[in-house]
Structure 1
Amino acid sequence: MPAPSEAPATLNVISYNCLGLKYISHYRRERLAEIGRKLALASPIPEIVGLQECWTQEDYQSIRTQTKHILPYGKYYYSGIFGGGLVILSKWPIVESSMVRYPLNGRPTAFFRGDWFVGKGVACARIRIGPRPADVAEVFCTHLHAPYESEPSDSYLCHRTAQAWEIAKLMRGAAERGHLVLGLGDFNMVPLSFAHRLVTGYASVRDAWRVLHPESSIGPATDDLERKRGREIPTAGYNLSENGATCDGVLNTWRWSKEQQKKQYNGDSIIVDDTTKDLRAKRLDYIFVGDCDYLHSPSNNTWQVQDIKVGMTERHPLIGCSLSDHFSVEATLSRGRNPAGSRCDTNQVGPGIATTGQIDVDSLSVSTYDTILSMIDAYTRRERHQRHFRLSNFGISIFVAVGCFTGIWWSPRPFVAFLLILLSTLGFGAGVLDGLIGGLFIGSEIRALKEFEWEIRNAKDMAEERRRADQEEVEKER
């Protein structure tokens, strides 16, 4: 694949969760085909696209067929039992690609949620956007574990934090190589939440929406932190234009009641005015941008956020439903030039976050590392208790099975023998399942927690060492 003859001055990027669950998502084929058509007709023309929840090859090929004239390069990422649902499309050659699975990613016992089975992770693509070695965009597309309970009681909070840490490490490494970093996806977090601060702080990337809308909401209007800001309840239009709300808004038909959806899909068009109060809308989808590192590329080129908007808000022209339960986030970046020796401003606001773009071990506060370590400790204790409980059930099931088979010898009636066999079979089956989960899955998860803990402790030690060195240098200058 030949390298482009000239690097672009602007870059149009889209991130979109497609709601393409096979057998589960209604009107999947029709909606994803329309998504492909919308991408092909989008203005400005998209040049890098990250899709989430595009689960089938059929839907991927449908989108590729319609967009190949503007996005000739693409990669569908395989992961887990049912696939990762991640896709990256590009105007320029994808010179390198990998799928990084998250070590902590839900539990197999929560089969009705599916996070563990789909093998969530980070789709990574290195894209050559120009002739020079530094003209590289490293794209990271992901879909973090969903928050099924509100924080801090969310039992998957440690999983989502570990995933945020994992993608932050990948983006940080790309920035240290002097490449443009693009983090795309449904991060299942609200702005300035703990996971959000972890990503922007450790990777030193900018949340593209907050660059242009620094006063945008940090959650739905019903959220306690958002209410404390003393803002009026936003309208649906304001949530789209200023707050960047991509999910749970009143304009999205997938968030309507069953009765409203039925009317809409039966041809009784329901129109929601932009002035309607919108209580639950929030921003879960992001474009993160990073391009500075403490080594600096020789050209000192930097990318600025020129424009950003919420897109894919139109409904399907025939069915009348929204194209997905999310809207897209679409950004235009422009290439600029930093003065020699300058740093990029991450434009982030939040506790524990540095306000400069310098990537170093001080980008997170020590208290942030302590919070993560406490989270790991609490979750490890929970998992050890679960392992003990499940392995005990396995042992008990063996004794029950042996007792039932022994009792058959003295069974007075055939139906009693049948009940004993049924009890032993079902009990032993459940016990074996508990034994496999406790001995294999939880054991593997505990080891992953140990790795995560070591990384956090090591990062904390480096941060403290750097702070001591800086303090000593300041004292010497005095």
Structure 2
Amino acid sequence: MASRVDPPPSQLRILSLNCWGLKFISKLRNERLSEIGNQIAAAHPPPDIVGLQECWTQQDYLAIRDRTHHLLPYGKFYHSGIFGGGLVILSRWPIEETNMVQYPLNGRPAAFYRGDWFVGKGVACARIRMGPTKSDVAEVFCTHLHAPYEAEPFDSYLCHRTAQAWEIAKLMRGAAERGHLVIGMGDFNMLPLSLAHRIIETHSPVRDVWRILHPDSSIGAARDPVEKMRGLPVPSTEYNLKVNGATCDSALNTWRWNKAHKRRLDKGENVVIEGSVSDPNAKRLDYIFFSSGRRHDPTTGQETAEWTLKDANVGMTMRHPTLHCSLSDHFSVEATLVRSAAEPTTVDHIHYALPDTYLPLDVYDEILANITKYAKREQIQRRLRLGHFGYQILLSIGCLVGVWWSPHNYVSFILMLVSTLGFGVGVLDGLMGGLFVSSELRALKEFQWEVRNTRERAISAANGGS
């Protein structure tokens, strides 16, 4: 087991995986997540820090911990929302401090069939101690952004995901200013170079490890308009894994297969998909971002990056050994960081003044337009819900009054039933309109102010101001 007296590492292996562990919904959940634990323990090279998403239950978390404890003795299951955020961080080294930061904008309670609001999505934060000095600290951020239910720019939750990207970017920038190694990972539910992706890489110093190594990799599935515009041929499954970094909707993933393949799999047949098969739907939704701590180079007198990227790959593509199904509906993304050969500095890193970088002004205008559009939608929703509340109260009172003149008992029963159900629905709608929507509108105002303030600073910087 690792201890506090162990020498600081010269290499760091990171793994992030969406486990698809929804209780009562995900198929073969127990078997798959147990095998995920087995494969993490058997991985070569072994991971040092692991971030999991959609690991919803303590049972699954403990099953994975039991199989990986010898390798990753420290771990944290994060609690949030009504059902939990499904976020887990495992580590080879001690976790000194944790925090669960819930996103101010995160779905709507009325969309109960989607569940984003009920799980309380946010950022699982962990400060991991890898050695004795302050430069031996990694700040890890594991997240799962709001799912896109329509293609951008028609996604009604685009404003939510944009705000979430803004929030995690602020957290990672703060960690970088403390001089620590920053690792952000998870299922970001975004395409490379999308608005959320650009916000993260502009408003924090972190970089997408895959695009460092593969700058010309895909920016969507081959069937997506953004990728079609590049005029490239439809990639194979092997190309998508090795070059495009596709972690979702791969033809290799059994949970994305057609009915014919699934029927063969259900019969126990181990269906093999060749690497040359056309793969038009695969895309990259899972990411590892990192920003290195800095150290002083005495030979040059300059600050240099302490950690650099060695490699990155898509992993967890194996099947369950007996069920022959994929271990999740996502594949993992993995990366290796290496530390520079210079001796670790003993100087305490407290703050670093990071250079301010900005998006083009029209992008801030686009964000503000999305906020305004969504705010108008929610204002209408609030009026409709409060109006419905008032209508149901009047209807309930009317039904109760009607009981007085009811000629038959069964009519009275129907009126009482309508009154009770109507009152309940009205109160529920009134609470959502008066409490939730009002809270959401206030969160939108905060986000709007931050974007406007950043836009003003971008204008000032462009004009040579401070």
**TM-score interval w.r.t. the shorter chain?**
over 0.9
Distance in 2, Cα, partners of 1:123 & 1:221: 32
RMSD: 2.1
Structure 2 residue matching 1:242: 3-state secondary structure: helix
Offset at residue 465 of structure 1 (A): 2.4
1:302 aligns with 2:306: yes
Offset at residue 130 of structure 1 (A): 2.1
Distance in 2, Cα, partners of 1:405 & 1:210: 65
Please point out which of 319, 323, 335 is paired with 2:323. 319
Cα pair 1:293 1:358 within 8 Å, conserved: no
Cα displacement string for residues 415-465 of structure 1 (whole angstroms, at most 9, x for unaligned residues): 332222222222211111110110111111111111111221222222222
Offset at residue 466 of structure 1 (A): 2.7
Distance in 2, Cα, partners of 1:459 & 1:337: 38
Q: Which residue of 2 aligns with 1:415?
A: 410
Distance in 1, Cα, partners of 2:441 & 2:405: 45
Distance in 1, Cα, partners of 2:358 & 2:34: 42
TM-score by length of 1: 0.91
Q: Give runs of aligned pairs for residues 291-440 of structure 1, distance below 5 A.
A: 291=292, 300-336=304-340, 359-440=354-435
Cα displacement string for residues 21-75 of structure 1 (whole angstroms, at most 9, x for unaligned residues): 1111111111111111101110011001100011111111111111111111111
Distance in 2, Cα, partners of 1:295 & 1:150: 46
Structure 2 residue matching 1:148: 3-state secondary structure: coil
Cα pair 1:300 1:337 within 8 Å, conserved: no
Offset at residue 263 of structure 1 (A): 1.9
Q: Which residue of 1 aligns with 2:349?
A: none
> Structure 1's 368 and 360: CA in aligned 2 closer, same or farther, altered over 3 A?
farther
Q: Which residue of 1 aligns with 2:254?
A: 253
Q: Which residue of 2 aligns with 1:444?
A: 439
Cα pair 2:296 2:302 within 8 Å, conserved: no
Distance in 1, Cα, partners of 2:217 & 2:253: 20
1:192 aligns with 2:193: yes
- Larger CA deviation: 255-264 vs 303-312: 255-264
Distance in 2, Cα, partners of 1:70 & 1:242: 29
Structure 2 residue matching 1:391: 3-state secondary structure: helix
Q: Give runs of aligned pairs for residues 9-158 of structure 1, distance below 5 A.
A: 9-158=10-159
Distance in 2, Cα, partners of 1:32 & 1:4: 33
Offset at residue 136 of structure 1 (A): 1.0
Q: Which residue of 1 aligns with 2:348?
A: none
TM-score by length of 2: 0.93
- Larger CA deviation: 370-379 vs 238-247: 370-379
Distance in 2, Cα, partners of 1:301 & 1:255: 40
> Structure 1's 381 and 337: CA in aligned 2 closer, same or farther, altered over 3 A?
farther
1:466 aligns with 2:461: yes
Q: Which residue of 1 aligns with 2:345?
A: none
**In the alignment, residue 369 of structure 1 is paired with which amino acid?**
Y
Q: Give runs of aligned pairs for residues 201-280 of structure 1, distance below 5 A.
A: 201-280=202-281
Offset at residue 295 of structure 1 (A): 11
Cα pair 2:98 2:126 within 8 Å, conserved: yes
Cα pair 2:17 2:52 within 8 Å, conserved: yes
Cα pair 2:177 2:353 within 8 Å, conserved: no
Distance in 2, Cα, partners of 1:298 & 1:115: 46
Q: Percentage identity across aligned positions?
A: 59
Offset at residue 337 of structure 1 (A): 7.2
Offset at residue 375 of structure 1 (A): 1.1
Cα pair 2:294 2:306 within 8 Å, conserved: no
Cα pair 2:265 2:324 within 8 Å, conserved: yes
Cα pair 2:134 2:180 within 8 Å, conserved: no
Q: What 5-or-longer segments of structure 1 have no aligned partner?
A: 339-356, 473-478
Offset at residue 127 of structure 1 (A): 0.8
**In the alignment, residue 316 of structure 1 is paired with which amino acid?**
H
> Structure 1's 331 and 358: CA in aligned 2 closer, same or farther, altered over 3 A?
farther
Distance in 2, Cα, partners of 1:255 & 1:61: 28
Distance in 1, Cα, partners of 2:392 & 2:296: 60
Distance in 2, Cα, partners of 1:359 & 1:321: 46
**In the alignment, residue 119 of structure 1 is paired with which amino acid?**
G
**In the alignment, residue 454 of structure 2 is paired with which amino acid?**
A
Cα pair 1:178 1:295 within 8 Å, conserved: no
Structure 1 residue matching 2:334: 3-state secondary structure: strand
**In the alignment, residue 306 of structure 2 is paired with which amino acid?**
T
**In the alignment, residue 17 of structure 1 is paired with which amino acid?**
N
Cα pair 2:247 2:285 within 8 Å, conserved: yes
Distance in 2, Cα, partners of 1:293 & 1:424: 67
Distance in 1, Cα, partners of 2:49 & 2:303: 23
Distance in 2, Cα, partners of 1:212 & 1:274: 21
Cα pair 1:183 1:289 within 8 Å, conserved: yes
Offset at residue 118 of structure 1 (A): 0.6
Aligned pairs, number? 453
Distance in 1, Cα, partners of 2:260 & 2:422: 43
